[in-house]
Structure 1
Amino acid sequence: MKKLLLLICVFIYSFAAGLNQEFLEPNEAFKPTFSKNEDSVNFKLDLGKDIYLYSDKLKIFISKPEKIEITKEINVPNPVAYEEYVVHFSNLDLTIPISLLKLKAESNDYEIEIKFQGCSKLGLCYAPMSEKYLLTFDNNISKIQTIKEEQKAEATTLNETDSIANSLKDGNLILVLATFFGFGLLLSLTPCVFPMIPILSSIIVGASKNEDMTAKKGFFLSLIYVLSMSLAYTIAGIIAGVFGANLQVALQNPYVLVVFALVFVALAFSLFGYFEIKLPQSLQTKLNKTTDGKEKQGIVGIAIMGFLSALIVGPCVAPPLAGALVYIGQTGDALLGGMALFVMSLGMGVPLLLIGLGAGRFMPKPGGWMENITKIFGIIMLGVAIWLLDRVLSASIIMSLWALLFLATAIYLKTQSNMIAELASSVLFILGVVLLVGLISGSTNPLKPLEKLTGSANISKENELVFHKIKNIKELELAIKNSNKPVLLDFWASWCVACKEFEEITFKDEEVMKKLQNFTLLKADVTANSDEDKALQKMFGVVGPPALIFWDKDKKELNSSKIVGYKNPKEFLEILNKNF
């Protein structure tokens, strides 16, 4: 066990150290200067090595005496195409005529603001930046001064994700790791971890078919699963933070999900006793050369399942995860960011460790009763397979699969000669019939199968929120430009559990619907994880759905209101009421 823990620690350290590239600090990547001559003012922005600017993020304003954008009236060098973006690779040297300032607003004092955002070719993207300069004319003597950050009237309010990222930068190592372990404990209560409970339970049940399961062994097996899960989260997180490629999101490909669902179907049939899943013979032979060969075979299988489960079953994005990825992306410190992710995923695995400990203590002895328990967990594995296919197949097909599973389970339990099994059989049979009736009536929601018959589906039609889909950055910019109301952009995906919570709970709350009637509602469906989807997410530093971005009536993005992860109606309204 000690060797395994040491190996994992060494692997994480080596992996993180290898990725810990020398990224430039923002003040090294972007060096602005502002100067003045007789008839113009000049803004120069020197770019560091491998740094480029987004062309559409370069904006020039007269912010005082009134806010006027003058970007199109300034001679800006022509940008070039780079990947799916239009960017500037060369240093900027912009001339702003004083006559233009006088033409736009008659005053003795002008505040000029230049906004920009850029990235490094190495994969790091910087937060949007702005420089402000005050130009004054007094008795034909002009003065120019930089407005320092601390002099700005606007107080910068960080959103939850950025606050967590900053805590990593400024916090004590022990405190940071303890905090992230606490985040993990909280995340263990979310739907991200729930599917792993039956998976681990089924693995333990399968391991105890032919031998006694002690509390110690149950805990050990669950620890292998949790450590492998944590390793997967850490590696995926570091890759996402450094390279901007979210491995978990990429693995939500329909082909991958179907293959993994078939794996669970195979595990289910193994638990039913049709066959036994084993490692390849060559690997078995190598392991069996040691005295504990069979035990090692089981450990390797559990480790693989834990690793894959973390990548495919639970691609949930929450503020702590996003905060760690933002920190890695901004600083390039993959070591501390990876440690935080590893400790957080250990916290997420605490319930799984308790499952292993409890299963080992209370698991029935091998025999007839154990055979029935094994088959029940096989049925649960089929349920996990359907849950995965929910991200790929149509809602009506998924509803019919749930109905068939309930009916088949009811028939199986009917053959068992005990009162509990008969009661469960009756309940599941009724549920299966209700789902079939709902399916025939046109319902596609397994949680509300009779909504078409009861008319409850039409109750909130008048206030129902309508989101307009946008596919890329151009469509988004056009929608914001044409809106005369605040704008909400919802990043959504069919495989995102928390996105469906937003749809079914938060966005159907009466108070929330009433508040959002005054918004232009946009939705970016990033299910396919296409290049356009990635570009949209990269533009706003979004790790993955769910994420909500807001703009006010003046088309100004409100970073402080950015939401990552699920929020219930009360939490959602509290964030909205701060700015709207």
Structure 2
Amino acid sequence: MKKLITLLVLFFTITSYAQTEKEPIVWKTSVQKISDLEYDLVFSAVILENWHLYSQYNPEGASLPLEISAVDEKPDFKLIGKAKESKTDKEYSDVWEKEEIFFKYKAVLTQRIQLTNTNITVIKLNLFYQVCKVGGVCIPFDDDYTFSLDGAVVEEKPVEISERSITLSNAMKLDLKNTHLLEEESNESSSLLYIFLLGFVGGLLALLTPCVFPMIPLTVSFFTKQSKNKAKGITNAILYGVFIILIYVLLSVPFHLIDGLDPNILNDISTNVWLNIFFFAILVFFAFSFFGYYEITLPSSWGNKMDSASSVGGLIGIFFMALTLAIVSFSCTGPILGSLLAGSLNATGNQAMQLSAGMTGFGAALALPFALFALFPSWLNSLPKSGGWLNTTKVVLGFLELAFAFKFLSNADLVVRFGLLKREVFIGIWIVLFIGLALYLFKRIKFPHDGPDKKLSFSRVSFGVLTVAFIIYLIPGTLKNPTWNLKLLSGFPPPQFYSVYQQESECPLGLNCYKDFDAGLAVAKAENKPILLDFTGWACVNCRKMEENVWSDDAIYNILKKEYILISLYVDDRKKLPKEEQFEFIRSNGNLKRIRTIGDKWATFQIVNFQTASQPYYVLLNTDLEILAPPKQYTDIGDYYNWLKKGIPPKLKK
């Protein structure tokens, strides 16, 4: 959850920590003995001028409050209430529209603890807090502090690496041959184009909402009429569109900073159970705002400030006009942007680049009509008038948001495999949601902002019929032996083997697979067969598409079943490794990474040996660990078939 909070803070903060010239806060610690069992652990801070440290009691929805917690999962002590605080200040924040509580210049926090084990002499506490410069950058910190209860000087010893950790770290590195084949070009560019197009479609949907659509003729008319020079008005309108794109692209910049810390950090965040549950809750919240039960808006003071700034004129004024549009339309664009953010974080590959591509597409779709109608103002006459159809669009988007939300709840269920949202249950929920959408389109149910009943329009009936057809398409997915396998939805429902019905195996398509590399290699040696190494994920959409659309092809299925030993390594599996298999992996730079889960192990294994963190990622190996062909990612049937044939020894080729 702390990773999540840090991520959300960075989302709204473009300036990185490296840009501050000094440490904004310096801490010292001390201990006061109260009794044999109780101690006061004291944090004292000196805060740089013009910086604020926020209190534990800072209100929800404002800057992040301070939090003190134990470092160890099962500590030998317990915290007695919250820490006592020295003098704090209060001030109303125009940004958050709340009265914030913070420390200036200095802070003293006194946390009382009670020992549950009298033999311990050292206590470790974690301090999570945020400091903000007045009117500027905010920086979250997450630091551990050590206290000595007996007054001895606590020296932070260098981390001792056990012989087992050294052995297991060395075992992660394979002695691969033909590694030059790893350097061949991947299909990342096609993936980014796909994400760009998805973002573009999201932007087009945002255009058809009541917050954005009425702004098109008003804004274009403003630009074309404000200047006596028509060419200048057109230029300004085009600049306005460019600035819209720029604003949405800038929102993705912090994710590149995060991604640079660790190649697998965004994957760790995106497969976090609590983050996926959080996304589920947020999208449900967004959906009900689309239904009209409440409005989601940014603080009105933001829009007012941007609006007043736009009166400056010139490039700066046009930029602030674009920023004003982004802020005032947030109640409609926010849910779509939230889905785009969630989708990018739960994608595979370079997630930061994918988010930038999606944001660029979204901004381009929003900007396009402003530039086009400025160039061809007569087209404005062909625009449909605002009316009830805009609210209908919002409600339809609300149902789609709900359907999308259950994908994230499914991700949380899959990575820990609680068994709550098996494939048929997930599809059943979708059937219920789309029945609700059909009833709405045929005016059998209403929402708060719907107007008086009128005759059903042709477009509404047509979309209702398509929705009913989709429901019929979904129904076989709830049966043990479905008439069809919902290939069009591959990646959204859980995999076919994650079922309420008994399955042949916990492997795709009932194939025989191994989920441990050493076990699979031993079988390959015993049977003298090549290996298909499959780096995959429970929450990986493209992995499911490959399994259900490509692997299911008869020719490919037979090759996988008869000619290869399939080793499927799930990089997002959050099940804990047995205690004796957990270790500290030693990176090449000397830093340590804790390997605690199955996913930790295989994600690190992939990065160390193949220098990539994307899935699906397929490698052909023989039992001497010789790479037989350039690795393959998401592709089509023909390409994948020809690639698989390259790994079969000549005498076995057919």
Shorter-chain TM-score category? Answer: 0.5 to 0.7
Please point out which of 467, 473, 478 is paired with 1:439: 478
Kept in 2: contact 1:239–1:246 (CA 8 A): yes
Shift of 1:439: 2.2
Please point out which of 481, 488, 496 is paired with 2:540: 496
Q: Is 1:86 aligned with 2:168? A: yes
Please point out which of 531, 555, 580 is paired with 2:597: 531
| Bigger mean CA deviation after superposition, 386-395 or 259-268 | 386-395
Residue type matched to 1:238 in 2? G
Change (3 A) 1:368 1:10: closer
Cα RMSD (Å) = 4.8
DSSP 3-state at the match of 2:535: strand
Residue type matched to 1:256 in 2? L
Mapped to 1, the partners of 2:329 and 2:388 lie a distance apart of 26
Please point out which of 388, 411, 414 is paired with 2:442: 414
Kept in 2: contact 1:198–1:380 (CA 8 A): no
CA distances 1:186-210 after superposition (whole Å, capped 9, x unpaired): 32443x5565456544544253276
Q: Is 1:317 aligned with 2:317? A: no
Kept in 1: contact 2:573–2:598 (CA 8 A): no
CA distances 1:147-196 after superposition (whole Å, capped 9, x unpaired): xxxxxxxx76423xx2359xxxxxxxxxxxxxxxx954x32443x55654
Please point out which of 250, 259, 262 is paired with 1:237: 259
DSSP 3-state at the match of 1:508: coil
Please point out which of 505, 520, 545 is paired with 2:615: 545
1:570 counterpart residue number: 638
Shift of 1:228: 2.1
Mapped to 1, the partners of 2:308 and 2:328 lie a distance apart of 15
| Bigger mean CA deviation after superposition, 479-488 or 439-448 | 439-448
Shift of 1:354: 4.2
Kept in 2: contact 1:257–1:389 (CA 8 A): yes
Shift of 1:386: 3.4
Kept in 2: contact 1:249–1:315 (CA 8 A): no
Kept in 2: contact 1:195–1:384 (CA 8 A): no
Residue type matched to 1:540 in 2? Q
Kept in 2: contact 1:410–1:425 (CA 8 A): yes
Shift of 1:397: 2.1
Mapped to 2, the partners of 1:479 and 1:569 lie a distance apart of 27
Change (3 A) 1:282 1:298: closer
Q: Is 1:224 aligned with 2:247? A: yes
Kept in 1: contact 2:14–2:254 (CA 8 A): no
Please point out which of 411, 423, 426 is paired with 1:398: 426
Residue type matched to 2:387 in 1? G
DSSP 3-state at the match of 1:524: strand
Mapped to 2, the partners of 1:528 and 1:402 lie a distance apart of 25
Mapped to 1, the partners of 2:255 and 2:427 lie a distance apart of 31
Shift of 1:494: 2.1
| Bigger mean CA deviation after superposition, 493-502 or 521-530 | 521-530
DSSP 3-state at the match of 2:620: strand
DSSP 3-state at the match of 1:240: coil
Alignment of 1:458-537 (within 5 A): 466-471=511-516, 474-516=518-560, 517-529=562-574, 531-537=597-603
Q: Which runs of 5+ in 2 are unaligned?
A: 1-10, 20-160, 221-236, 311-319, 374-379, 414-420, 444-454, 490-495, 575-595, 649-654
Shift of 1:507: 0.8
Mapped to 2, the partners of 1:313 and 1:518 lie a distance apart of 35
Please point out which of 185, 191, 207 is paired with 1:187: 191
- The structure carrying a bigger helix percent of its residues is 1
Q: Which runs of 5+ in 1 are unaligned?
A: 1-6, 16-78, 89-115, 119-126, 131-154, 166-181, 323-340
Change (3 A) 1:222 1:440: farther
Shift of 1:288: 8.3
1:276 counterpart residue number: 295
Mapped to 1, the partners of 2:179 and 2:324 lie a distance apart of 59
Alignment of 1:60-139 (within 5 A): 80-81=162-163, 83=165, 86=168
Residue type matched to 2:529 in 1? K
Please point out which of 400, 403, 410 is paired with 1:383: 403
TM normalised by structure 1 equals 0.56
2:366 counterpart residue number: 356
DSSP 3-state at the match of 2:638: helix
CA distances 1:433-453 after superposition (whole Å, capped 9, x unpaired): 45346525664954489xx9x
Kept in 2: contact 1:383–1:405 (CA 8 A): yes
Residue type matched to 1:254 in 2? V
Kept in 2: contact 1:317–1:544 (CA 8 A): yes
Shift of 1:80: 4.6
TM normalised by structure 2 equals 0.50
Shift of 1:486: 0.7
Shift of 1:275: 0.7
Change (3 A) 1:356 1:441: same
Kept in 1: contact 2:290–2:397 (CA 8 A): yes
Kept in 1: contact 2:474–2:486 (CA 8 A): yes
DSSP 3-state at the match of 2:566: strand
Mapped to 1, the partners of 2:461 and 2:335 lie a distance apart of 37
Shift of 1:496: 0.6
Shift of 1:404: 1.5
Change (3 A) 1:218 1:285: closer
Change (3 A) 1:373 1:315: closer
Mapped to 1, the partners of 2:202 and 2:274 lie a distance apart of 21
Shift of 1:498: 0.9
Please point out which of 174, 178, 184 is paired with 1:163: 184
1:177 counterpart residue number: none
Mapped to 2, the partners of 1:10 and 1:273 lie a distance apart of 32
Shift of 1:566: 0.6
Shift of 1:575: 2.5
Alignment of 1:202-221 (within 5 A): 202-204=205-207, 205=209, 207-208=211-212, 211-212=215-216, 220-221=243-244
Residue type matched to 2:168 in 1? V
Kept in 1: contact 2:286–2:401 (CA 8 A): yes
Identity %: 18
Residue type matched to 1:568 in 2? D
| Bigger mean CA deviation after superposition, 293-302 or 416-425 | 293-302
Mapped to 2, the partners of 1:256 and 1:435 lie a distance apart of 28
1:27 counterpart residue number: none
